[in-house]
């Protein structure tokens, strides 16, 4: 931004004042495309029946995308529920003025936490009878009712009451004061596996548990079972609500699901070149000399490193995009910087943008590519980017998004 100022001797001069958007893009940043996010939600809703609601999973800061803005966009685009993992995540959304129902997927056990849930009008998951009793006792003292969601373990072996004991668990909660059953749900362990055997077994167990609950005269107001993979796989798993996480952010839980719905990646990771130099043959690069040049090389130093979420185990295996070309990273990735072999771009200058994840012209690098190289999953890649990387929203404001037609 160029502003005009008058000097003491009466001269009018221009003074450049960088905008906040320019400043946070000075070193490295993450771009979040809310148009892509809204597109993904609409695409997923198209495969749901009108009676099935969409719960946007925004835990872990919306998988590193920024929970508040993501939640706002998701609700505008057609999601009606939100899911988080911790009490603090729910409070953050409420403090931002978000009034939609919010399910806490994690377990809550203490009276202080329960009182806080009630205060912020969040909706907890109950996993076992002991937890239900603590909730009821605490809420009785507060003289306040609370909607609760009952979790069944049908084969994940994580949170929840074992499915064979579901009827007794539900009957207990139904009788306890100040607890109102809002839903009964379970979680799939292998929905992203092309072999549906385990998923079908879990589905059968869930159905059997629900049948027994209904036989006892209790009709659950809401059932939900499907994560992103199950949502894209089998409509019989949709029930009243689907819980979609990874799919919101434009990634597929497994390669065989890529044709199920059109999704667009929401996140891009970018950084700037901070120095360019030429090194002679036989020169070591970075700590430990994991890379030694076999010829003169033009190298670029880039202002991003493992403290930002670029894992050190990607050293000498990472590729980035520069001017639409795939460029190799060389040497050990350091805490704040990494080096590139830019010999094929001899006129590269400091300040130019490097794309680590995202598109540049007709080339693209995805979080899945990083995950494959590291032997992990894309969820971990997305959640691994640290908060010193500013999240830059596109468009920059929620108002601009509304004007563009996302509603």
11: three-class secondary structure by DSSP: coil
Torsion of CA 69, 407, 56, 144, to 10 degrees: 90
C-alpha–C-alpha distance, residues 284 and 331, integer Å:
8
For 97-130, letters b (16+ CB in 10 Å) and e give: ebebebbbbebbeeeebbebbbeeebbbbbbbee
Check: CATH 3.40.50.2300 for 267-365?
A: no
CATH 3.20.20.10, the chain: domain bounds: 34-248
State both tokens at 238.
Answer: 């949709």
Residues near 152 by beta carbon (within 8 Å), at least 6 away in sequence: 160, 161, 162, 163, 166, 169, 184, 185, 186, 206, 209
C-alpha–C-alpha distance, residues 245 and 58, integer Å:
7
State both tokens at 237.
Answer: 């798993």
> Is 335 assigned to a binding site?
yes
What is the phi/psi pair of residue 255, to 5°? -60, -35
93: three-class secondary structure by DSSP: helix
C-alpha–C-alpha distance, residues 129 and 145, integer Å:
17
Q: What is the pLDDT along the chain (407 residues), one digit of tens a residue?
A: 445 555 455 554 455 555 656 677 789 999 999 999 999 999 999 999 999 999 999 999 999 999 999 999 999 999 999 999 999 999 999 999 999 999 999 999 999 999 999 999 999 999 999 999 999 999 999 999 999 999 999 999 999 999 999 999 999 999 999 999 999 999 999 999 999 999 999 999 999 999 999 999 999 999 999 999 999 999 999 999 999 999 999 999 999 999 999 999 999 999 999 999 999 999 999 999 999 999 999 999 999 999 999 999 999 999 999 999 999 999 999 999 999 999 999 999 999 999 999 999 999 999 999 999 999 999 999 999 999 999 999 987 766 676 566 65
Catalytic residue IDs: 59, 287
What's the Cα-to-Cα distance from 380 to each of 240, 368, 383, rounded to whole Å?
Answer: 29, 10, 5
What is the architecture, at CATH level 2, of domain 34-248? Answer: Alpha-Beta Barrel (3.20)
8 Å CB contact between 198 and 155: yes
> Is 25 assigned to a binding site?
no
CATH 2.40.37.10, the chain: domain bounds: 267-365
C-alpha–C-alpha distance, residues 232 and 258, integer Å:
9
């Amino acid at each position: 931004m160029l502003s005009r100022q008058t000097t003491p001797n009466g001269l009018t001069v221009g003074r450049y004042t960088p905008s906040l958007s320019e400043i946070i893009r000075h070193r490295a940043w993450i771009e979040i495309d809310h148009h892509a996010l809204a597109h993904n939600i609409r695409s997923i809703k198209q495969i749901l029946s009108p009676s099935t609601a969409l719960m946007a999973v925004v835990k872990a800061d919306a998988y590193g995308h920024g929970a508040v803005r993501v939640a706002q966009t998701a609700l505008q685009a057609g999601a009606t529920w939100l899911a988080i993992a911790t009490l603090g995540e729910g409070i953050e959304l409420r403090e931002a003025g978000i009034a939609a129902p919010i399910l806490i997927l994690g377990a809550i056990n203490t009276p202080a936490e329960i009182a806080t849930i009630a205060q912020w009008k969040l909706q907890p998951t109950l996993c076992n009878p002991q937890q239900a009793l603590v909730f009821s006792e605490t809420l009785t003292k507060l003289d306040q009712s609370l909607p609760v969601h009952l979790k069944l373990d049908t084969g994940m072996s994580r949170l929840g009451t074992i499915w064979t004991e579901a009827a007794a668990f539900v009957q207990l909660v139904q009788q306890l004061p100040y607890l109102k059953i809002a839903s009964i749900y379970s979680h799939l362990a292998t929905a992203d596996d092309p072999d549906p055997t385990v998923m079908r077994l879990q589905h059968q167990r869930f159905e059997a548990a629900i049948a027994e609950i209904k036989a006892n005269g209790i009709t659950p107001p809401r059932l939900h079972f499907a994560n992103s993979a199950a949502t894209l796989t089998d409509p019989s798993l949709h029930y009243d609500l689907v819980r979609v996480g990874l799919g919101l952010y434009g990634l597929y839980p497994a390669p065989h699901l890529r044709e199920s719905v059109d999704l667009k990646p929401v996140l891009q990771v970018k950084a700037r070149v901070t120095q360019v130099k030429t090194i002679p043959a036989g020169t070591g690069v970075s700590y430990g000399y994991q890379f030694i040049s076999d010829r003169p090389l033009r190298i670029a130093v880039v202002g991003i490193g493992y403290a930002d979420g670029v894992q050190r185990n990607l050293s000498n295996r990472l590729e980035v995009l520069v001017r639409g070309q795939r460029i190799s990273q060389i040497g050990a990735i350091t805490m704040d910087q990494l080096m590139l072999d830019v010999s094929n771009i001899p006129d590269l200058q400091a300040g130019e943008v490097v794309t680590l994840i995202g598109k540049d012209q007709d080339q693209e690098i995805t979080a899945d590519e990083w995950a494959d190289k590291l032997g992990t999953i894309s969820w971990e890649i997305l959640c691994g980017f640290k908060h010193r990387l500013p999240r830059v929203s596109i468009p920059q404001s929620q108002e601009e998004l509304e004007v563009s037609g996302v509603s």
